[in-house]
Amino acid sequence: MAAEVTIAPRAESHTLLAEEVRLRAHLRDDLGVRTRFAALPDVRALLVSPAARDGAKALVVASDATAAERIYLYVHVAAHIALEHHLPLVTIVEGPPGIARLETDARRHREAEDLARAMWWGRRGEGLAAPRLVRGSAVLRELVSRGITRAALRSLLLAMRAAYYDLRIERALARTRLAAWLRDALCVTAVVSAAPQLSD
Ligand SMILES: [Zn+2]
C-alpha cells in the first residue's frame, strides 16, 4: 500500500516500528520515562534522572537512531534504571559503541548490558523482551550470536520476505504463524545487528 511507504521513510519494517512504539510506551507507563528526540552529536542517548526516586525521568535519544537502535537503547536504559544507576541525580550518557569511558562508568554500562541481555531474551522483564514468537528459539538465538551467521540469516529472511511479497501471497499468509514468525525473526535480527551486545 502506498500509504505504508510514507509511514516508513527509512524503509524500516512495520514490526520494528511497532516494537519501538510498544517499548517506548512501556518506559513511559511502567518506568516513568518520557522520551524525546534531538540532534545529539557524539552521543546516542541521555537519561536525566529526577531529584526523587519516583520523579519523572527524561530520555533524550539521538534523532538519527534507527528503530532497531532505539529498541536497544530503551532496554539498556531500563536496565540502568533497574540497577538504580540513575540515582541520585545522575545523568547517564550513552555514547557510540566502542568509545572508551571512565572505568566507573564502563563497569555500570557493562552491568546494564548484562541485565539488558537477560531482559531482551525474556529471562527478566517481560515488557521489554523480544517478540514472543521468536524469543524462545534457541536456533535463532545461536544464529544471531555471531556476526557471520547473523548477516547470513538476515539476508535469508529478507529474501524470504521479498519472495513472499513477489508471489503476492501476502494476503493469504498475512495471518499465519509463518508470516508472524518471519516478521518477529527479522525484527530480532535487525535489533541484534544494531546492538550485537544483546546476543550471548
Ligand atoms: Zn549504559
45-101 pLDDT, tens digit each: 999 987 777 778 999 999 999 999 999 999 999 999 999 888 777 788 888 765 656
Cα–Cα nearest to 190, from 18, 58, 51, 13 = 13
How remote is the CA of residue 165 from the centroid of ligand 1, in Å? Answer: 39
Q: What's the whole-number average pLDDT of the chain?
A: 83
Residues 6+ apart with CB under 8 A from 164: 170, 173, 179, 182
Instruction: Kindly tell me the sign of the dihedral angle through the C-alpha atoms of 143, 194, 8, 26.
Output: positive
Q: What is the pLDDT of residue 178?
A: 79
How remote is the CA of residue 169 from the centroid of ligand 1, in Å? Answer: 43
* CB 92 within 8 Å of CB 77: yes
Domain boundaries in the chain? 1-129, 131-200
In three-state secondary structure terms, 154 is helix
Rounded CA separation 80/75 (Å)? 9
How remote is the CA of residue 186 from the centroid of ligand 1, in Å? Answer: 25
Q: What is the pLDDT of residue 100?
A: 58
Neighbours of 19 (CB within 10 A): 24
C-alpha cell at 4: 505504508
For residue 131, the 8-state DSSP code is P
pLDDT tens digits, one per residue of 101-139: 666 688 889 999 999 999 998 876 678 999 888 888 888
Beta-strand ranges (E) seen in the chain are 33-38, 45-48, 57-62, 91-94
pTM confidence score: 0.85
Task: Flag whether pLDDT at 141 surpasses 70.
Answer: yes
How remote is the CA of residue 69 from the centroid of ligand 1, in Å? Answer: 13
